[in-house]
Structure 1
Amino acid sequence: MDGIDALVQLEAIKQLKARYFRTLDAKDWAGMRLVFSDDVVMDTTDSGGNVVAGADTFMDFLSATLANVVTVHHGHTPEIILTSPSTATGIWAMEGRLRYADGNEINGFGHYHETYEKIGGSWRIKSSRLTRLRMD
């Protein structure tokens, strides 16, 4: 892979993660489903959650869990490594703010540790592990 192609692939992964954040906060579940491989593994055990395997299972879980929660997520300073023409790893600093219907709020700060796979010409999130540095 030449330097220009590598830059194009890195930008495509950044755009993928931007769609993840936007569709999550907009509750665009159909759009969000497209950012994942079918066999994605989402691990939030380090931040008090569970491991959920499979994109459809994760979308069912997420849409039910966040139905009445206003969320704002930001990702920053991506560290992406292309490991082959069709795979990559990445770490993103993140901030997530959640406001529940009863007025309670959670503000979390940490990192997403992810793997990506290029499937049918498009990058997808293959696995994601959320770690927390702080939760207010």
Structure 2
Amino acid sequence: MNALTGLDKLQALEEIALLKARRDRAADTKDWALYESLHAPDHVSENGDYGRWTTATEMIANVAKSMEHLTTMHHSHSPEIAFETPTRATGIWAMEGMSFWKQGEQDHWFQAFGHYFERYEKRGDRWMFTQRKLEYYFTRKSPGAIFPPKIVT
């Protein structure tokens, strides 16, 4: 393996951080075209709320449906990025997520704290997500809230 060093490593770290920031923004603004473009077609996603999805297309369809009636705010911070090769990396990001919605006539919310465990590959000239697992360590929700929303297909 040729390890990344110096400026190449700093550039790769910044590119992965921007990738993550764009993913959070795309989710919160429901920009599903941008969201999908950040993920490799063979992306694998595991979310304890919904299970495992094995393609980017499957993940986007389910995420878009699950968030259809939610207003969300995703915050990712304190990254731990490690390079396996110059074109493959892993990352752990601390996270806080907030979701807001109407359930009947009542306003509800859900708050979660945990970590994203991710894998990235540089394909062509850009870094992409290839795998993500979300683990919550603490959650809370408004009284009577039903979360996560059911995905109706």
Q: How does 1:95-134 map to 2 (within 5 A)?
A: 95-102=96-103, 103-134=107-138
Q: Does 1:38 align with 2:5?
A: no
Shift of the alpha carbon at 1:49?
2.4
Cα drift, residue 83 of structure 1: 1.0
Distance 1:23 1:17 in 2: 10
Is the counterpart of residue 11 in structure 1 residue 11 in structure 2?
no
Separation of aligned partners in 2, 1:3 and 1:19: 25
Query: C-alpha distance in 1, partners of 2:69/2:85?
Result: 40
**Separation in 1, partners of 2:125, 2:31:** 22
Q: Does 2:80 match 1:79?
A: yes
User: Following TM superposition, by how much is the alpha carbon of 1:2 offset from its aligned partner in structure 2, in angstroms?
Assistant: 2.9
What residue is the counterpart of 1:64 in the other structure? 65
Partner SS, residue 100 of structure 1:
strand
Match of 1:21? 24
Q: Deviations over 1:12-38 (max 9, x none)?
A: 000000000000000000011111010
- Describe the superposition over 1:79-127 as per-residue Cα deviations: whole angstroms up to 9, x where unpaired: 0011111100000000000012222211000000000011111100100
Give the residue type in structure 2 aligned to 1:95. E
CA distance in 2, matches of 1:53, 1:101: 30
By percentage of residues, which structure has more helix? Answer: 1
Normalised to the residue count of structure 2, the TM-score between the two structures is 0.85
The whole-number CA distance in structure 2 between the counterparts of 1:132 and 1:6 is: 30
Instruction: Return the alpha-carbon distance in structure 2 between the equivalents of residues 58 and 80 of structure 1.
Output: 23
Report the CA distance between 1:62 and its aligned residue. 0.8
Equivalent position SS for 1:58: helix
Query: After the TM superposition, which parts of structure 1 deviate over 6 Å for at least 4 consecutive aligned residues?
Result: none
Q: SS at 1:67's partner residue?
A: coil
Between the aligned residues of both structures, percent identity stands at 35
| TM-score relative to the length of structure 1 | 0.95
**Alignment size in residue pairs:** 134
Work out the CA distance in 2 between the residues paired with 1:107 and 1:49: 17
Segments of 5+ residues of structure 1 without an aligned counterpart are: none
